[in-house]
Structure 1
Amino acid sequence: MQRWLSKYRYVILFWLCFGVFRTSLADWNPIPSGSMRPTLVEGDVVLVNRVAYDLKLPLSDISLVKLDNPQRGDVVTFTSPKDGERLIKRIVGIPGDTLEMKNEVLWVNGTPATYADVQDIREPFAAGQTLAAVKLTEQVNTSKRTVQFIPQVRALRDFGPVVVPADSYFMLGDNRDNSADSRYIGFVPRRLLIGRAHHILASAQILDNWMPRFRRFGTPIL
């Protein structure tokens, strides 16, 4: 055993360092569903900065140092407070915000979002099935992103007003009518945030022929 450890000590050291790096500093996250369409699509693999907000004890939710505060518009990975599943959504509400949704229109602190650049599209929904959808640009104050709606899908299009508690965040998927977000799982405590997703590392057409989408490699997440 001692000879084996001596022989492979550099390999063992490498994997230990790699493990600490991935659980503490940076990570990648595959996108298995369409809840963040059109920003992220099935088959994207995103880079996640685990120290964007907190330096945590490896393999835990314990924050050692707070480095920065999450902002509205950040795309983040987090652990669902409902069932522990790892999710990726967009922050639309920070502590103290009053949020409301009226017929799909998001209101933040009494101000409605504005919508522009409307496009009619077809959205993949089930195996071999597409539905009519609408893609548009949503802007709340200085935060701007592309979202989409699927009118034929039953979804929670009205809620609130609700006030985001201290040290918690309200998440929405960009695919508003096909996302299990804070409308269903509740507010997300800061301790459950994993990190901020900032670039697409790689992408493949996992719903079709698994061919790579080279044009998406390295693109920033807006």
Structure 2
Amino acid sequence: MDAVAPPPFSQRALQWLKKEALPLLIMLGLLATARDTLANHYQVPSGSMQPTLEPGDRVVVDMRAYGLRLPFTQVRLLDAGVPQRGEVAVFDSPADGTRLIKRVVAVAGDHVQVRNGHLSINGQALSSAESPLQEQFGNRTATLELDRGGGPDVADVQVPAGKLLVMGDHRGDSYDGRYFGWVDADLVYGRAVAVYYRRGEGLEWRRL
């Protein structure tokens, strides 16, 4: 009986691609899509958000917080609201495109003043004499670091429509909206939800 010749190499390679490689590529594509549109993580590069965030912190970012986007683009498929005061947001710097993480301190229509690192929104100071390092944004509290002063002051300015003012909690050591200006609300990448890893402490879940 004659031996059956094996299929040509090209046919065997095609069968392998269909059976092994294609499912793997599909899985990787789905994971990349989920990361770009549902949830992602961010590693904090500097101390500009101390004491809330420390350099090296790893943060979970909710990509759906402000709307569902077409994967790998800025095209919105579904709106889910806009960033609110006190939220910690991830966005690209309008100055050079660097991805940053800062606190949203004022939204469209707000009148803002900053003096010695302390915020007043619409004429209302966010901190008190009893707690000068605590600023209250509704139900969110920001703890400030002023060991390097408060950074640049801001006279009474109004946030334009569609814009945000973002600042770091380490007011004297933060390159933020006082330098690079307003951030487009509809281009914010996502909302930082929690720290899940801190250097020296390991895994944890510290909500923001």
For the residues of structure 1 that align with 2:187 and 2:16, how far apart are their CA atoms?
Answer: 39
Q: Is 1:137 equivalent to 2:134 in the alignment?
A: yes
2:93 corresponds in structure 1 to 80
2:168 corresponds in structure 1 to 173
User: Do 2:115 and 2:150's aligned partners in 1 also have CA atoms closer than 8 Å?
Assistant: no
User: Do 2:74 and 2:187's aligned partners in 1 also have CA atoms closer than 8 Å?
Assistant: yes
Using the TM superposition, give the Cα deviation of residue 155 of structure 1 relative to its aligned residue in structure 2, in angstroms.
2.9
2:114 corresponds in structure 1 to 101
Please tell me the residue identity of whatever aligns with 1:138. E
For residues 6-21 of structure 1, the aligned pairs below 5 Å read 6=18, 7-21=20-34
Q: Specify the structure having the higher radius of gyration (Cα).
A: 2
2:201 corresponds in structure 1 to 213
Given the superposition, is the C-alpha separation of residues 197 and 140 from structure 1 closer, same or farther in structure 2, using an over 3 Å criterion?
closer
The normalised TM-score by structure 1 is: 0.81
For the residues of structure 1 that align with 2:156 and 2:138, how far apart are their CA atoms?
Answer: 18
For the residues of structure 1 that align with 2:113 and 2:99, how far apart are their CA atoms?
Answer: 25
Residues 160-214 of structure 1: CA deviation (Å, up to 9, x unaligned): 211111111110101111111100111100232000001112122xxxxxxx413
For the residues of structure 2 that align with 1:191 and 1:69, how far apart are their CA atoms?
Answer: 7
User: Do 2:57 and 2:197's aligned partners in 1 also have CA atoms closer than 8 Å?
Assistant: yes
**Structure 1 residue runs without a partner (length 5+):** 119-135, 205-211
1:201 corresponds in structure 2 to 196
Please tell me the residue identity of whatever aligns with 2:176. D
1:51 corresponds in structure 2 to 64
Using the TM superposition, give the Cα deviation of residue 43 of structure 1 relative to its aligned residue in structure 2, in angstroms.
1.2
For the residues of structure 2 that align with 1:18 and 1:43, how far apart are their CA atoms?
Answer: 24
User: Do 1:114 and 1:140's aligned partners in 2 also have CA atoms closer than 8 Å?
Assistant: no
Identity over aligned pairs, percent: 35
Residues 25-47 of structure 1: CA deviation (Å, up to 9, x unaligned): 11000011001100000111000
Residues 57-77 of structure 1: CA deviation (Å, up to 9, x unaligned): 111222222112221000010
User: Do 2:36 and 2:71's aligned partners in 1 also have CA atoms closer than 8 Å?
Assistant: yes
Q: Which deviates the most, 55-64 or 170-179?
A: 55-64
For the residues of structure 2 that align with 1:172 and 1:45, how far apart are their CA atoms?
Answer: 19
Please tell me the residue identity of whatever aligns with 2:76. S
Using the TM superposition, give the Cα deviation of residue 97 of structure 1 relative to its aligned residue in structure 2, in angstroms.
0.4
More helix by share: 2
For the residues of structure 2 that align with 1:65 and 1:81, how far apart are their CA atoms?
Answer: 24
Using the TM superposition, give the Cα deviation of residue 2 of structure 1 relative to its aligned residue in structure 2, in angstroms.
2.4
Please tell me the residue identity of whatever aligns with 1:149. L
Given the superposition, is the C-alpha separation of residues 154 and 201 from structure 1 closer, same or farther in structure 2, using an over 3 Å criterion?
closer
More strand by share: 1
Residues 4-52 of structure 1: CA deviation (Å, up to 9, x unaligned): 4222222111110000001111100001100110000011100000010
User: Do 2:168 and 2:174's aligned partners in 1 also have CA atoms closer than 8 Å?
Assistant: yes
**Secondary structure at 1:217 match in 2:** strand
1:122 corresponds in structure 2 to none
Aligned-residue RMSD, C-alpha: 1.8
Please tell me the residue identity of whatever aligns with 1:218. W
Given the superposition, is the C-alpha separation of residues 52 and 140 from structure 1 closer, same or farther in structure 2, using an over 3 Å criterion?
closer
For the residues of structure 2 that align with 1:173 and 1:71, how far apart are their CA atoms?
Answer: 15
How many residue pairs are counted as aligned between the two chains? 194
**Structure 2 residue runs without a partner (length 5+):** 1-12
For the residues of structure 2 that align with 1:33 and 1:92, how far apart are their CA atoms?
Answer: 19
Q: Is 1:5 equivalent to 2:1 in the alignment?
A: no
